[in-house]
Every structure is written in structure tokens, then in C-alpha cells.
A = this chain, B = another copy of it.
Amino acid sequence: MSVAEETKGIAVRARDASRKLALADTAAKNAALVGAAEALVTATARIVEANAKDLAAAEEAGLSPAMVDRLRLDADRIAKMAEGLRQVAELPDPVGELLSERTRPNGLQIRKLRVPIGVIAIIFESRPNVTADAAALCLKSSNACILRGGKEAINSNTCIGSVLSESLASSGLPADAVVVVPTIDREAVGALLKLDDLIDLVIPRGGKALIRRVVEESTIPVIKHYLGVCHVYVDESADLDMARAITVNAKCQRPGVCNAAETLLVHEAVAEEFLSAVAGELERAGCELRGDERTRKLVPGAKPATEEDWYAEYLDLVLAVRVVTSIDEAIDHIATYGSAHSDAIVAADPGAVERFKREVDSSCVFINTTTRFSDGFEFGLGAEIGISTDKLHARGPMGLEELTSYKYVVTGNGQLRT
């Protein structure tokens, strides 16, 4: 069987499973999630054994110790995956919710109901725990999922997928509601992305190259989890102590994630006072500064920023810094260089806050707080499949509700159109 045929076979099975899963009630789904959590723990030795193959291959391929550690699964990490499944079981079921209801003058009752999307393909490059997390969120929202992780985790992901599938079957749900693509062949992704009659949504999570490939090849709708080029703008009206704490938190609290700040914009009226205060603190935290000319006059330790720095998602302890003459210049900078992910203003002036809130076209606009709060858990969504940088369907943190669609149910008693 060719890779394309095998991939299509997977999608057909997932499609069939999605029809059955759409009819499962909340209790059945929750019981299956709790059962799957137990199954993962029970299968610890089996998962560790599969993971050992990935670890051996990773060491042979010369992956860095940090990368190898990311890949590693042990009893403790497997227990945490299981705990994640139990937490998803606790969340409210989004499916079946009545979103709106109206009665038309002709007596037709029009109800809009939340329903699953159907089949969701998730293509990711992260730790193997994503396999269990993504499967749980899809299951709770009654979607079948096709999971394709990174090649370095193929044995771990396939094993976790098998444990989940077997557990689903023993809970009376379709085993194919969770399918892990069992090959590292790149062709499988290409084949998957053309199956728009079988798959309803693709969510790519990973680096630029992966996202571009998916966007360019997919005929299935895509919700991108793309760059986070996040800004903190310090207005002339800012409480500078607050601005300093927010800047350091946004950049340094966890620099390797998409909601960390990458560029600091400072109003010229407060640039001298603010930058002299914040620069030392950032430098003590190990953060490299790259500034425009005006910044470098105020912060002698800053390196020169190039045009590329304004576009950069460093995901590291590096911060681009620019002095702006007005809030207009800050808003224009964000529109030009930003990725419409998460941007913050620190300001006391309500007029400045209002303009930033209205004019910055980002999924999350933060006022007097840190971009690091751009997160499904922090927003109270209970869980997160990722952070969408798209404007269609889901924007910003995506929880269970964002993994659903809706249908209209129109009830009449013989009404005709004339």
C-alpha cells in the first residue's frame, strides 16, 4: 500500500469514528477519558520502552541534551499526562449547547446548536505529551483526531496513540477516534493535507517552516499557531515602576514561549528615566538588548538593532528596544512588524489606553499587565489546544469551545416558502 493510500485509509477510519463519536454523551466521554488516564499509567513500562527507542535514535543523531530531555518519558511524566486527561474530563462538555434561539414571524423556530467539527488533524513538533493532551481535548469536544508528531518521537507517539485507542475501544467508543500517523514519511503529511473531503480542520503547531508548508499545501481549512512577535509599549503616562515589572515579566519569566515579549517600545518623554531603570534589571537577568539609535544613546550596553530585529521572534533572552515619538508611532510599529498575537500597553492615560485597545489589531491586547497572560488556562478556558494567530473561527487562546462548530435546527409545522 502506498503512503497516500495508507494515509487515506487512516482518514476514512477517523471520519467513520467521528460520526459515532458525535453521538456519544458526556458521561461516556468522561468515563473514556478517565479510563484512558488509567490505561496510560498501566502502560507505563510499554511507553517507556517505546520512548527508549526514540531516545537511542536521538542520541545517535546527536541531538542536544536539552532536546533529548524534552523527548524523555518516565513514570512521573506519564502520570502527569494521565492527570491532564482527568482534568479534561472535569471540564464542561461544549457539545450540544444552545447558542441562540429565535422564532420567525412565520412560526419557524430557529435554533443554533454547538456541534463537533468532525475530524481534526494536528501536526506538531513538540514533546510527546502533546499526543495525549490533543487527543483528550478532541475527544471531549467529540472530534476524531489524526495526530502527526515529530519524527524524533515517532515510537513514543505511536505507542501512546495505541494505548489511547485500545482504552477508547474498551470504553465503548470508537478506537479510531484517535489515530497517530504511524510513519515518518513526509509524503504522509502532503497526502493528509489534500483530504478535504475527509478532514475538516488542520492545526499546525511548530516552527515557521512547518506552518508555511501546511498553509501552502493544505486544501483543508487551517488554523495557524504562528509567530508571537509581542510588544510592550510604555506610554508617557505609564507608572514606570509598573512598566518595569511588566517588561521584565513579559520578557524574562519564560522567554522561550510565543507570548513572551520580543520588542519594547518606549515613549520619548519617559525614555531616559524608564530605560535607565529597566536596562540594568534586564541585563542582570541575562537579557541582551538591541536598540535603535536613541535607545543606544541612553543604554550604552545595547547592541544596534537592524530592520530584522523588529520582525524577530527571538524565543530567547534578547529584547529589541525602540524609542517612539508618539503612541501613533508605537501603533504603526506594531502594525508593521508585529504578528497580531499579544501586545501590551502600560499607561495611566485613558485616552492612550482606548486608542491602543481599538487600533492594535492583535488577538490579545493587554492593558497594564503582561503579555505572558495570553494563555487558555490564564483566560479561564480550562484548557488550551494552542494560540491561534488567525482571525477566522478562533483567535488567540483556543479552548474546547473553539474546537466546535454549530448547526442550525429549524423546526416548523409545514411552512413553505412563497
Interface residues of chain A, those whose CB is within 8 Å of chain B, are 19, 22-23, 102, 104, 108, 110, 115, 117-118, 196, 200-201, 215-216, 219, 221-223, 239, 242, 245-246, 249, 253, 335, 357-359, 361-370, 372-374, 378-380, 390-393, 395-397, 405-418
A247 to chain B, nearest CB (A): 10
Residues of chain B lying within 8 A (CB to CB) of residue A414: 239, 242, 245-246, 368-369
Could you tell me the distance in whole angstroms from the C-beta of A402 to the nearest C-beta in chain B? Answer: 10
List of B residues within 8 angstroms of A373 by Cβ:
108, 410, 412, 415, 417
Are A365's CB and B408's CB within 8 A? yes
CB distance from A19 to the nearest CB of B (A): 7
Cα distance A67–B418 in the bound complex, in angstroms: 25
Neighbouring B residues of A395 by C-beta, 8 Å = 405-408
**Given A380-B102, A390-B221, A409 contacting B365 (CB threshold 8 A):** yes
Contact between B216 and A415 (Cβ–Cβ < 8 Å)? Answer: no
Q: With the chains together, A390 CA to B196 CA distance in Å? A: 11
Copies of this chain, whole number: 2
Which residues of B lie under 8 Å from residue A390 when comparing CB positions?
Answer: 221
Contact among B196, B215, B368, B413 for A219, CB-based, below 8 A: B215
- Of A200, A222, A406, A416, most B-chain CB atoms within 10 Å: A416
Look across to chain B and name the residue whose beta carbon is closest to the beta carbon of A220.
Answer: B215
Most chain B CB atoms below 10 A, which of A196, A369, A418: A369
Chain B residue at smallest Cβ distance from A418: B253
Docked-complex contact A417 and B378, CB < 8 angstroms: yes
17 more CB-based (< 8 A) A-B contacts, given A221-B221, A372-B417:
A19-B361, A22-B359, A23-B359, A108-B373, A200-B391, A200-B392, A201-B391, A221-B392, A246-B416, A363-B407, A364-B407, A367-B411, A369-B413, A369-B414, A373-B417, A392-B392, A392-B405
The docked-state distance in angstroms from the alpha carbon of A358 to that of B373 is 38
The distance in angstroms between the C-alpha atoms of A411 and B365, with both chains bound, is 8
> Which residues from B are CB-within-8-Å of A391?
117-118, 200-201, 221, 405
Find out whether the CB atom of A412 lies under 8 angstroms from the CB atom of B222: no
The distance in angstroms between the C-alpha atoms of A219 and B412, with both chains bound, is 41
> Is B416 a contact partner of A362 (Cβ separation < 8 A)?
no
A95 to B22 alpha-carbon distance, docked (Å): 33
What are the 6 closest A-B residue pairs judged by CB atoms, nearest first?
Answer: A369-B412, A372-B417, A393-B393, A391-B405, A249-B416, A392-B393
Alpha-carbon distance between A200 and B392 when the two chains are bound, in angstroms: 8
A407: B residues at CB distance < 8 A: 361-365, 395-396
A374 to B110, CA, bound (A): 11
- Report the Cα distance A393→B405, complex, angstroms: 8
Contact B201 A416 (CB under 8 A): no
Give CA–CA (A215, B418) in the complex, Å. Answer: 35
